[in-house]
Amino acid sequence: MAIPYMETVVGFMIVMYVFETYLDLRQHTALKLPTLPKTLVGVISQDKFEKSRAYSLDKSHFHFVHEFVTILMDSAILFFGILPWFWKISGGFLPMLGLDPENEILHTLSFLAGVMTWSQITDLPFSLYSTFVIESRHGFNKQTIWMFIRDMIKGILLSVILAPPIVAAIIVIVQKGGPYLAIYLWAFMFILSLVMMTIYPVLIAPLFNKFTPLPDGDLREKIEKLASSLKFPLKKLFVVDGSTRSSHSNAYMYGFFKNKRIVLYDTLIQQCKNEDEIVAVIAHELGHWKLNHTTYSFIAVQILAFLQFGGYTLVRNSTDLFRSFGFDTQPVLIGLIIFQHTVIPLQHLVSFGLNLVSRAFEFQADAFAVNLGYAKDLRPALVKLQEENLSAMNTDPLYSAYHYSHPPLVERLRAIDGQGKKTD
């Protein structure tokens, strides 16, 4: 008797939806609390708390609707055999264009074009509501509808340019890979990730935002002095015009080896009270570099990718697996999609584990900045970022443990205060 793979996958998807909805309800209850956590009383203004509470509850209501529609569509697509049906009709379009329907690469690209179109259509109402209703209602959205459409078109064009050669390469590798398939797939994705990390900030990100050098002045001098003291090979220091789309703020770094760059959102510069608070945020980010967090995370992702490809090679020729999902052929892309669905339980466990590690890294980076003497500036900087981004002040412990890659503000402030006492 064949194993009911598809029914098992749909069943687990529904179980996870119920479990995550339970966590969402716990978090929704926490968001409705009318008072600040004790740690934040006197730190966060009542006005900011009320605004944060309203924003978080709006996002929570929206999330319930979005997740319900998503599980309905995803379950229906699998349970009613829409995936194999769509695969067949996507191949039927090729002869109309004078193309060979037996060519798996062309068939796959036709399938992906249809999937991308469907995704754009089904996601668009949610994206529009999130951006122009929720984000606008709470003062974050700065986009015009034209800018939104323009960004969407740019994203589609990038997919049209980048996806075909990548998909074609993966199909050829699977078809020719033989016993070393997992190694070849991993090597290809490893090289691709390095290429994308190289070209994204230089060629792709500037299509959506404007990056300008941070002007000369005290802030630039302080950041360069901090980088130099840590032997961080800072080559360029940019300000990105994040305020053209949103008033949310951030800072990040990127680059390989001796060619590192730091990017500050213009909103971060506007929101922090003084330059030392901004430098404290950068000290936290540099802590990730100095403590090798980025390297460890990259290595972990590569190991997981290799294990996933190894698992795929074990099932890619399973006739029962394909038939369970309604396929009488075994296309490469479909095999990868089906495999991803069958390992969903492991993916949830891995995601939870990575979140635990990420939160530990955040505490370590905070401690690093404190040890450099930035405790009195990092604390108000984190509070200001929490206030200005209207992040949730009250969080359910189970929800945050499962979902958050960063610790809640209350926990970070407690840890900073404890670390500050040790350094004193």
∠ CA 17-138-408, rounded to 5°:
55
Residue 256: Cβ-neighbour burial (10 angstroms; 0-12, 13-18, 19+) = exposed
Q: Which residues, in sequence order, are bridge partners of residue 361?
A: none
Residue 342: Cβ-neighbour burial (10 angstroms; 0-12, 13-18, 19+) = buried
Residues 54 and 36: their CA atoms lie apart, in Å, by 13
CA dihedral over 167, 168, 171, 177, signed as positive or negative: negative
366 as an active site residue: the answer is yes
Residues 89 and 81: their CA atoms lie apart, in Å, by 13
From 24, 266, 276, 285, the catalytic residue? 285
Residues 360 and 59: their CA atoms lie apart, in Å, by 27
From 24, 276, 277, 366, the catalytic residue? 366
Burial 191-207 (b: 16+ CB within 10 A, else e): eeeeeeeeeebeeebee
285 as an active site residue: the answer is yes
What residues are annotated to the active site?
Answer: 285, 366
